[in-house]
Structure 1
Amino acid sequence: MQLVSIITPHFNNLSCLKETLESVARQTYTCYEHIVIDDCSSAVDYRELQSLVDSFPNTTLICLSVNSGAAIARNRGIQQARGRFIAFVDADDLWEPSKLAKQLEVMNADNLDLCYSSYLVVNSKGEALRFRQAPSQVSYHSLLKCNEVGCLTAIYDTKRLGKVYMPEIRKRQDLALWLKLMKLGAKAGGITESLARYRVGEQSLSSNKCKVLPYQWAVYRECEKLSVSRASYYFAFYAWNGISRHYW
């Protein structure tokens, strides 16, 4: 069994974090380490946070001294990770018990470097709102048009790709990471079964969708170095997908 390093950024969301930790602890695949990175929470009792993390097996806490955003928090977790596989789940999201086992089985069988799955969008009460269907394959160009890799479902293989870090932008850093992996030649594949639940709430990392638009543009221009014309072309697809599929 290969070790999986699970990365969870956290900020002022202790109640949801407990449910996330519980969903990881219920995994049928047990060869994992879970790294929680607190991004300098302002409304959390750190003794309570440490006690909560200590109550779960194979789970460690890293506390940042300055609030730096999800990208830097996740990168600190990647830096600390000891596992061959890197997986992500935010502090307000949930995994199905078979998630790791099913994805690793597919990764080994299909020789994948990056694996992702479908997932449910749920409200704060856990009630299903939408189903996000994962495509069987993605490419660099398809991801520029629409990010169909849910961060809470993604796993990548460091043995084949090395440790790859997220660009240090406040939002859309997950898309920028998938693009980096694809440029490295990653073979990516999706699982149609829903293996996670993305919780929509006031504290969600992507709760204010309008604010992500400048970051999407920054991915095109600053991270991918696209010309204005090419960036505009892909941005138009992104905007259309957001409107037609409520994907923002």
Structure 2
Amino acid sequence: MAIKKPINTPLISIVTPCYNSAAYIEATVKSIQNQSIIGWELLLIDDGSTDATLEIVSQLAEADARISYFQQPKNLGPAAARNRGIEMARGSYLTFIDADDLWFPYFLERSLKATEDHAFVFSSYQRLDENLQPYLSDFIVPKRVSYTDILKSNSISCLTAFIDISKLGKKYMPLIKKRQDMGLWLQYLKETGYAYGIQEPLAVYRIRQGSLSRNKLALLKYQWQFYREFANLNPLQSAYYMACWAYNGYVKYRN
């Protein structure tokens, strides 16, 4: 069992958007409650769920004072849900976990330790199927990435990004259908130069059947729009980064 650290560690704000996540959300929250440090707040943002998600998260919040839940007026998408969590975050540090993913017990502790040297860190993770069985090899992140590195391949998972907002301030995800997290990382990288990777896998990314993030062909138009409209790249630059992204995506998911 993880050894709990004193509550006087800096407050860490955790943002989790929830949409029809009844089958997974309790396991996700349990992985947060099992962290080796306890100085955190969890902001659960229900984004118009039509299953039992809202009932479950309300019960979780009632049982643990560190958990709060909020209901969007209608389904507004993950960027709007995460932005609401960012707005309400009270901590010195900000991190995200989706409602079907998991953290290992030392994710927060090791990420917090890494921010002693770097304000923006992220870590490697396991890739399992929706039943938590092996699916792909562990994704081991680079030791550091720059703005242009992320344009070529978004190796910073929303699952493991950890940001010292006491130093870097709050920024918000662009309200676009896909690639919202990539947009947020680029905003921070404009200021910091680099984000630094923790080589040890500290989380579990649950790959569910039919996930749009796994369907690279379906993502092509969103990736192009991101380069042209958010990153303000010209067509030639966009084509170059699109080619890099496609190749790196193939490599990332081939085993």
Selected match of 1:234 from 216, 227, 241 = 241
Selected match of 2:60 from 28, 42, 52 = 52
Contact 1:35 1:60 in 2 (8 A): yes
Selected match of 2:88 from 80, 104, 115 = 80
Q: State the 1:160 CA deviation.
A: 1.5
Match in the other structure for 1:164: 171
Q: Is 2:194 aligned against 1:183?
A: no
Matches within 5 A, 1:182-201: 182-201=189-208
Provide closer, same or farther for how the CA distance between residues 172 and 28 of structure 1 changes in structure 2, counting only shifts above 3 A. Answer: same
Moved more, 59-68 or 37-46: 37-46
CA displacement 1:63-107 (0-9 Å, x = unmatched): 001111111100000001001111000001000000000111111
Over the aligned positions, Cα root-mean-square deviation in angstroms equals: 1.6
Amino acid aligned to 2:240: Y
Provide closer, same or farther for how the CA distance between residues 45 and 163 of structure 1 changes in structure 2, counting only shifts above 3 A. Answer: closer
Q: Distance in 1 between matches of 2:170 and 2:210?
A: 29
Contact 2:79 2:173 in 1 (8 A): yes
Contact 1:21 1:56 in 2 (8 A): no
Provide closer, same or farther for how the CA distance between residues 237 and 180 of structure 1 changes in structure 2, counting only shifts above 3 A. Answer: same
Selected match of 1:3 from 3, 11, 15 = 11
Q: Distance in 2 between matches of 1:169 and 1:74?
A: 12
Match in the other structure for 1:245: 252
TM-score, scaled relative to structure 2: 0.91
Selected match of 1:125 from 104, 111, 131 = 131
What is the DSSP-based 3-state SS (H/G/I as helix, E as strand, rest coil) of the residue aligned with 1:213? Answer: helix
Match in the other structure for 1:116: 122
Match in the other structure for 2:4: none
Contact 1:13 1:203 in 2 (8 A): no
Matches within 5 A, 1:93-104: 93-104=101-112
Contact 1:12 1:41 in 2 (8 A): yes
Q: Distance in 2 between matches of 1:236 and 1:45?
A: 39
Provide closer, same or farther for how the CA distance between residues 94 and 57 of structure 1 changes in structure 2, counting only shifts above 3 A. Answer: farther
Q: Is 2:47 aligned against 1:39?
A: yes
Contact 2:212 2:219 in 1 (8 A): no
Amino acid aligned to 2:173: M
TM-score, scaled relative to structure 1: 0.93
